[in-house]
Amino acid sequence: MKENLLVLFLFICVSSFGQTATIKLKTKIYPNGRETEAPLKFEFNGITFKENDSVLHIPVKKNNFDTYKVTYADGSYDFITKFKENEIYELNQGCCCADFTLEAKNNPRKGVVIFKNKTKKDLCLLVSASETDTVASGKKKVVFASESAMCNFKPCEIHITETEYLSEKYNYSKNTDYEMLSKEQDNLILASNWYHFLHGEKIEAIYNPDLKKIDLKLKGYLSDKEYLKIINGFN
pLDDT tens readout for residues 156-197: 999 999 999 999 888 877 677 788 888 999 999 999 999 999
User: Are 148 and 90 in a shared domain?
Assistant: no
User: Are 170 and 91 in a shared domain?
Assistant: no
CA-to-CA distance for 128 and 83, rounded, in angstroms?
20
Q: What is the pLDDT of residues 79-114, one digit of tens each?
A: 999 999 999 999 999 877 889 999 999 999 999 999
User: Are 220 and 204 in a shared domain?
Assistant: yes
Radius of gyration of the chain (CA): 20
E strand or H helix at 149, and its extent?
none
User: Are 75 and 122 in a shared domain?
Assistant: no
User: Are 6 and 93 in a shared domain?
Assistant: yes
For the CA atoms of 159, 160, 161, 166, what is the dihedral angle to 10 degrees? Answer: 70
Residue finishing a domain among 64, 85, 104:
104
- Please tell me the pTM assigned to this model: 0.87
User: Are 20 and 127 in a shared domain?
Assistant: no
For residue 235, what is the DSSP state? -
What total number of domains does the chain contain?
Answer: 2
For residue 163, what is the DSSP state? G
User: Are 95 and 141 in a shared domain?
Assistant: no
Query: Residue 1's pLDDT band (boundaries 50, 70, 90)?
Result: low
Q: Which residues pair with 71 in a beta bridge?
A: 41, 76
Query: Residue 147's pLDDT band (boundaries 50, 70, 90)?
Result: confident
Q: What is the distance, to the nearest Å, from the Cα of residue 51 to the centroid of all Cα atoms in its chain?
A: 25
Q: What is the pLDDT of residue 8?
A: 46
* Residue spans of beta strands (DSSP E) within the chain: 17-25, 41-44, 47-48, 55-61, 66-72, 75-81, 88-93, 100-104, 112-116, 123-127, 131-135, 140-144, 156-161, 189-196, 201-208, 213-221
Residue finishing a domain among 78, 104, 130:
104
Q: Which domain holds residue 12?
A: 2-104
E strand or H helix at 9, and its extent?
helix 2-16
User: Are 21 and 91 in a shared domain?
Assistant: yes
Numbers of helices and strands, H then E, in the chain? 3, 16
Residue finishing a domain among 79, 104, 129:
104
Q: What is the pLDDT of residue 173?
A: 73
User: Are 52 and 122 in a shared domain?
Assistant: no
User: Are 11 and 89 in a shared domain?
Assistant: yes
User: Are 122 and 218 in a shared domain?
Assistant: yes
